[in-house]
Structure formats: structure tokens, C-alpha cells
Amino acid sequence: MSYTCLRDAVRDLERHGMLLRIREEVDPNLEMAEIHRQVFERGGPAILYERVKGSPFQAVSNLYGTFERIAFLFRHTLDRVKRVIELKRDPTALFKNPLRYASAPFTALSALPMRSLLTPPILYGTTTVSQLPQIKSWPLDGGAFITLPQVFTEDPDQPGLLHSNLGMYRIQLSGNEYDPDREVGMHYQLHRGIGVHHAKYNERPEPFRCSIFVGGPPSHTFAAIMPLPEGLSELTFAGMLAGRRFRYVRREGYVLSSDADFVLTGEILKGVKKPEGPFGDHLGYYSLRHDFPVMRVHRVYHRKDPLWPFTVVGRPPQEDSSFGWLIHELVAPLAPQEFPGLKELHAVDAAGVHPLLLAIGYERYMPFRERVPEEILTIANHLLGSGQTSLAKFLFIAAADDDPMLNTHDIPRFFQHVLERVDWTRDVHFYTRTTIDTLDYSGTGWNAGSKVVIACRGEKRRTLKAELPENFSLPPGFDKPIFCMPGVLAIQAPAFKVEQTARQQAENLCQWLERFSLEHIALIVLTDDSRFTAATLNNFLWVTFTRTNPSHDTYGVGAFIEYKHWGCRGPLVLDARKKPHHAPELEPDPDVQHRVRRLLETYGF
């Protein structure tokens, strides 16, 4: 069964008891997002909003809210796509097991986009930007946003769909300085394919045309976030995952997705930027207002009876975690091919994805020598120099030969393995004054910060325990030491107000701790609230790795610098306090929360 439109998928979910219809009129200003959050937190169904205040169009969210539901939506095609990916990894598999891969040629055929010969559904009607559901998710958001856009651009050097780019770059529909109904904001970050096209168009006289698809079969939405090699169009993947070729039509110089629910066409203005944001983003903080490109809107098309899909991001895990799960399911077999020597990789969702990357690599260079990190350092450099993994801030990499059963997705076990073996005098490698994720405000400026690789190999160096040494004490201002896990201690520190003072506080603590025997403790985290940090694994991951800039916030007991190499002889200390330059955390409106709770009670939630 192939979905030809988004409503097909929604009907399928409803037939299988996976849809909640909200029949009351709901407000797109905070209320719809809060409904989504509360239903998602309870593992609830997809949500159809039948009456959206201020808009003639219905909306749908939480389509991908559980791993089980996203697997259900792609149940007819997922295995077939996996087999095509397996063949990419090893083409000889076709001859070894021809029956398993018999469907592969037909799956590959669906990758070819096709032009619609008849009048496609998307040409049913037109509307305006202000008539679209104006969904605002968090109180400090700068306006309404499209949160599941499929932004389509063509390469001016190689026009056509096979060399196009389809990406999910958030779109601000209203607010700030945008001319209502005529302009929308275009936010895209580092290592995004649209940037390559933008740079080329800036050197050419023709306009930079852009189409924003919203809705359509679920595979089209997922294709927009799929990390594909540069130069390979996401539309080919959309067709394979849909089990149905991507259909399109050209109108007035623009490409329209025939099966989309809405398409906004327009021109990205060269040399023009306007403030975009703030926006409550997937790290759990606001991304602040910054200047970004602007698209002048040409038309807004829609199909008959369209649905406006949206999601709500915030502190992970949220609905977008399901996308990460599906990406891993599909691309994990290709990782060793892309990164020779890599066994497995895990971008940790609870830490905001890019702040924390866990990896396992093979050591094959000189097996007759002392077991120290060698090849895994080469793998780490490759990871930090390629595509999306280059945005990682903390990269922990372990050697596969130390424990063949080690798994990056068993996070407590992975940290135990690393912290038992890491040699803090040798295994900490900094990258200073470099680029970091656009959404990460822990660094020294916008897109500016540092990275660190912690690579370990060898026998256990310490036994981790959740025990403080006898007569343990802390200097004034520090208190409430609580273990997050064996060997990892959270300490509540004075509020970070002035950098020089805060640095001196951290250094004084490290000197103070030298008087104690800390051989069972490998990592100390300074926080504003040690009880919160240690309460759950996710709290530890989120606080520690979203609030820390490796070059500025790393200290150590017995720290030293030797020929520009930094290390420490005792536990590593990370300063994960909130800093004055950090973006504010996301907090919902209490009145809206209360109102939504009462509404959902009438639906049995």
C-alpha cells in the first residue's frame, strides 16, 4: 500500500486506532503545541485538529510520535529500502542471496521522479500565508513557523530534480520585520545543501527560486531530513520509501510537488537578510534572533481538503527523536563504509544530538604494540571532518577490541567502559576556536566554540564507585555532591556570574580536591542543581553536554599542560553551570498547560 497523500496516511492511522480527533476550535498560538506536548508525553496517538482558529485548514501533529507508529507508516516499504541500502554496502550480496534482493530493482525504479501528465492535486487552489495555521509553539517564539517544511532548490550548474536539494530548514511565517503575506524567513545552518545552491546563485544573474512543500506522503517529510551524500537528491529517496515515484509539475518557473498538501513558491533574495527567531528548538533552549535569508513569496498552492502537518520540538526526547531512530535503522549499515574502521555510532538524542557523539572503532594499525589509542584517533578526525558528524562537540570513542560486546546505545554501560579506561593525562584532545552547531549557545559566539575528543583504549585503570572518600568535604559555596552513576559526581556550585570569578571558583575546587583519594571517581560535573542533574540519565546528559564549552569549561584535579597538551592526573571536571550568554530554557505557559489538561480530560487523557 502506497500513500498518495497525507490524508491517506491519517485515515490509515485512524482505522488502526492511532488517531485522536480534536473537534473543538483550538488556538494555534501556544494551545495546539501544548496539546501536542501533553499527548506526546503520554505516548498518545497522532492528533487531527478539525478546527484551527484563524485558518480554514485542518492540521495534524504527532504522526511520528512513537517508534512503533513511524514503523507502521513505512511498514510496506521499509524492508525493501533496507535491502537496497544493503546492496549499496555490498553489491555482491545480490549474487549470494538473489531471492532476498529480488525486489531491489523495482524499489530502485521508484527512485526516479516523474512529471505529472494530468493536472495534479496541488493545483486545486491558492491561498495566502496568513491563512495557513499560524502555529506558535513556545511563549518567546518570534512568530508562527513551519516546523515540517520540505525546502526544494535546484543546482544552477546542474538543473533538474536528480541534482536538487530537499531539506528541512525552518520557515518563519510571521512576526519580526517580515512583510505580511509577502515574505517568510529562511533559517538554515552549517553543512546544509541549500547553502551550496545559495552560494552559486549569488554569483549568477538569475533569481534563486525556491519551493516549500508541506505535507504529502510521510516519506516526503522524512526524505527532507535524511542525511544523503551531497549531489544525491532526496527526491529519489522519497520515492523509494513511498514505494511510489515522486511526482512533480513545473509552474511559472517553479517546481511543485504534485502530492503535497501545500506549496509555497518564491525567490530567496540575494544580499537580503532579516531577523529570524527566537524559536524554541530541539536542544531545549531558544535559538535566539539572528539575521537570516528572506524568501519573497510568489504563490501559496494547496490541494483539495489539505492537512497542515506540524511538530513541536523542545528538550529531547520529542517527536523528532523518531526521525533519528529511523535514520539510524537505515544508515547504520553504511557507517563503516563512510568511515573506514568505524564499528558503530550514536548521536545522543537526550543531549540534543550534536553536543554528544558516542563511537566505537577498530584498532588495526599495529596490533603488536602497546594498546593505546591510534586508529580510533584517525576515525575521530574523520568524523569531525565530515558532514553532520562534524557538528559534534563531545566525541567519546572507544576501541572495539577492548570489549566486543560494547554498544553505544547502552549509554550507562558505554560511559562505564570509557571512564574505567580513560587516561586523563593522555586521552583528551581539544579543537579550539572552531565552528559548532548553530543552535548551541555554549560557545564563545554564534557558531563559534570548541570540540573535544576523548579516546580510550586498554585495560581498566580504575573501579568506579558511587562512594565519597572518607572525610570528604567541599570548599565554601560548593555543596550537595550526588552521584549521577558510579564514578560520575555532580556538585552544586555557586551561580556563574562573572567569567573570571567562575573560573577561579572551578580552579580552587580542583586544588581543594587534590587532598582526597578520588581513584573511584572519573568525572565531576559542576551544576546549578545537583539533585536535578543526578535524578535521571537524561538529565545528566542534557545538563552536562548542552551547557559545556570544552575549551572553556574543562578543568581537572591535578591539571597540567605539557608541550601544549592538556591533561589531568585526577578526575576530569566539567563546568555545566548556566552562563550569562546561554539561551534561555524552554518553559510552557502555565495557563495554557492548565487549559489543555482540562480539554484532554474530556478525551480520556
Is there a contact between 20 and 229 (Cβ–Cβ < 8 Å)?
no
Question: Given pLDDT bands bounded at 50, 70 and 90, which one contains residue 535?
Answer: very high
* Average pLDDT in the chain: 92
Q: For 454-487, what is each residue's pLDDT tens digit? A: 999 999 999 999 999 999 999 999 999 999 999 9
pLDDT of residue 89 exceeding 70, the answer is no
What is the reported pLDDT for 86?
64
Identify which has the larger pLDDT, 47 or 107: 47
Q: At what angle do helices 590-601 and 31-41 cross, to 10 degrees?
A: 60
The mean per-residue pLDDT over the stretch 586-594 comes to 97
Q: Quote the pLDDT of residue 417.
A: 98
223 and 229 Cβ atoms separated by less than 8 Å: no
Indicate whether 190 pLDDT > 80: no
User: Are β-strands 394-399 and 356-361 bridged in parallel, bridged antiparallel, or unpaired?
Assistant: parallel
Distance in Å from the first CA to the final CA of the chain: 32
How far is 304 from 92, CA to CA, in rounded Å? 46
Is the predicted pLDDT of residue 103 greater than 90, yes or no?
A: no
Is residue 60 a contact partner of residue 73, using CB atoms and an 8 Å limit?
Answer: no
pLDDT value, residue 335: 73
User: What pLDDT score was predicted for residue 212?
Assistant: 98
User: What is the DSSP code string of 283-323?
Assistant: TSBEE--EEEEEEEEEEEEE-SS-EEEE----SSSSTHHHH
Structure confidence at residue 491 (pLDDT): 98
Residue 364 has pLDDT above 60, yes or no: yes
Regarding predicted confidence, which is higher, 81 or 209? 209
3-state class (DSSP) for residue 65: coil
pLDDT tens digits, residue range 236-273? 888 888 888 999 999 999 999 999 999 999 999 998 99
Q: What is the pLDDT of residues 3-26, one digit of tens each?
A: 999 999 999 999 999 999 999 999
pLDDT value of position 386: 84
Q: What is the pLDDT of residues 565-575, one digit of tens each?
A: 999 999 999 99
Q: What percent of the chain has pLDDT over 70?
A: 94
pLDDT (average), residues 142-150: 97
User: Is the CB of residue 59 less than 8 Å from the CB of residue 135?
Assistant: yes
Asked if residues 156 and 605 have their Cβ atoms less than 8 Å apart, the reply is: no
Report percent pLDDT > 90 for the chain. Answer: 75
Query: Residue 388: what pLDDT?
Result: 81
Write down the residue that cell numbers 544493503 correspond to: 86
pLDDT band at 98 (very low <50, low <70, confident <90, very high): low
Contacts of 184 (CB under 8 A, 6+ apart): 129, 171, 172, 173, 178, 212, 264, 266, 294, 295, 297
> Do residues 452 and 436 lie in contact, with contact meaning Cβ atoms separated by under 8 Å?
no
| All domains in the chain, ordered by first residue | 6-310 (2.30.110.10), 336-456 (3.40.1670.10)
Residue 102: pLDDT over 60 = no
| Mean pLDDT, range 99-119, rounded to an integer | 75
> Burial code of 115-127, b = ≥16 C-beta within 10 A, e = fewer?
ebeeebbbbeeeb
In the structure, what pLDDT confidence band is assigned to residue 172 with cuts at 50, 70 and 90? very high
Q: What is the dihedral of CA 247, 159, 291, 279, to 10 degrees?
A: 20
Of 410, 413, 397, the closest CA to residue 363 belongs to 397
Q: Is the pLDDT at 80 greater than 60, yes or no?
A: yes
Average of per-residue pLDDT across 395-413 = 96
Q: What is the DSSP letter of 129?
A: G
Which residue has cell 486545486?
124
Return the residue matching grid coordinates 529511523: 326
pLDDT at 1 (0 to 100): 63
Which band of pLDDT confidence, cut at 50, 70 and 90, is reported for residue 439?
confident
Cross-strand bridge partners of residue 47: 20, 61
Distance CA 358, CA 232 (A): 27
By the 10 Å C-beta count (0-12 exposed, 13-18 middle, 19+ buried), 362 is classed as middle
Maximum pairwise Cα distance, the chain = 81
The pLDDT, as a whole number, for residue 109 is 72
Strand segments (E) across 129-197: 145-146, 149-153, 165-167, 171-172, 183-186
What is the rounded average pLDDT of the residues 150-179? 92
Among 246, 262, 247, which Cα is nearest to 307's? 262
Which cell numbers in the block locate residue 281? 528548538
pLDDT confidence band for 595 (50 / 70 / 90) = very high
pLDDT of residue 323: 86
Cell of 261: 498538501
Task: Quote the CA–CA distance of 314 and 286 in Å, as a whole number.
Answer: 9
Q: How many CB atoms lie within 10 A of CB 40?
A: 22
Q: Rounded to the nearest 5 degrees, what angle is found at the Cα of 383, between the Cα atoms of 382 and 384?
A: 90
H/E stretch holding 559? strand 559-562
Model pLDDT for residues 330-344, shown as the tens digit of each residue = 877 767 777 889 999
Residue with cell 567569567: 499
CA-to-CA separations, 523 to 320, 357, 419, 475, 575, in angstroms, rounded:
30, 17, 8, 18, 11
Nearest-angstrom CA–CA distance, 349 and 365 = 32
What's residue 241's pLDDT? Answer: 85
The pLDDT assigned to 77 comes to 85
